[in-house]
Chain A
Amino acid sequence: MSLRTQRLVYLIAAVVLAAALLWGMSGLPEVGDYQGPYGDVLNAVAVTERHAVNVVAAVTFDYRGVDTLVEEYILFAAVLGVAVLLRAQRDEEERSLDDDVEGRRIRDTSTAVRVIGLALVGLHVVLGLYIVAHGHLSPGGGFQGGVVLATGLLMVYLAGRYVTLRRVSPQALTDAAEAAGAGGYVAVGLLGLAVGGAFLLNVLPLGTPGKLLSAGTIPLINLLVGLEVAGGFVLLLSEFLEQTLIIRGGPDDES
């Protein structure tokens, strides 16, 4: 196909697509115009039924808690897949954990990056814990807070070296945290089954709406999800870092 024909085909396709998009978007309801009944029902009943001020959390961790359970296991499986793909192959050998080992050609991290990284570690940990703990009160929760917590550990790597990251977050502990977070969610579900007769039934005391300890199982699940997500992301991060920093050899590596 000549360049001219290609351009012609592209132009026709672009015009048709643009027209279809405009046609479709012209029929959309106005911003803020809500039609469906479910949102209104939930807004009316969620706080009285579940004592969760953040109705979104009541939906994701209670009414549709099973969906979130599966979502958590999607992340779990993805992290597992990366760990399997990036494991040390037979023809690769592990280098010393020390970044200063002979033959490392990585440029030194600038002092500015180190200082800012160090300053951000504490902020990230506090913000992450806050977002995890207040999932049932304000926007956020285990998933978002977990990623922020893991970012705090990334800052540890940026401020120090890979060994520093390993020292504050040993492999065994990270694995255990991820597994405990994933398994704990199911355990909370089974608790509901045992006590109340339905999987993931909110059987813990509901408390006063708006208080930190309220909404029954929702903050507990948030905590477990936060543990799983933070552990999973740190695991992802260290698998990649190990690949680039430690493992050498293999057919393509001539270093």
Chain B
Amino acid sequence: MSVFRQGFIDGFSLPAFMVAASMIGYGALVQSAGLSLGLAIVSTLGIWGLPGQVAFIEYMLLGAPVLSMLIAVSMANMRFLPMSLSLVPLFRRSESGWRLRYLWVQVMSVNTWVGLLRKVPELSPDQRGPYYAGFATICMLCGVAGTAAGYMLADTLPFYVTVTMVFINPIYFAFVFAAMRARACMLALVAGAIAGPPLYLISPEWSLPFCGLIAGTIGYGADRFMRRSA
């Protein structure tokens, strides 16, 4: 219990606060799209990745083809592949932790992932599961609370407040990513940010997957080139 509580308490600062704030924006976005509160909450817990959630709602608004929406949502959350690849081995030396690995990846977000990685050196393998569970629990509670609050307040709040909450969605991730220091990541992020808007003008429906593949390959290639020539 105490390690679970420690994770819960550690999560109850900037991570959970930002989850709540950005989910308020998400809740308001769902409300503005004319979808139900239940759908808002289930999408928060089920997709549990804000870019994918936002892509889901925006594709609903665009009225895009179903396949395009699915690929966009899925690819917007593609980071979960490398993230789970680096998260799951942390539970390997714990029997109880390893057994729940398919659950751990469902409750994984950028916040819970970073939260565990930061703490790993201080935790024994058997403590990682409870700590991570505590951290994820508070993040998800705040996520649901934020989603519901944003949804219900969307109509009563003045426009400048509601629209700011929606603005928090992309802006929070912009800063989370801007705080990353790995060169390959940074190059890919910059290339993606530059390529995203013009590609959207060429093909609103298919720009995301192409942006990822083209700009990601450029970022990876540039980093590899620099590594070779260094």
Query: Do A and B share a complex?
Result: no
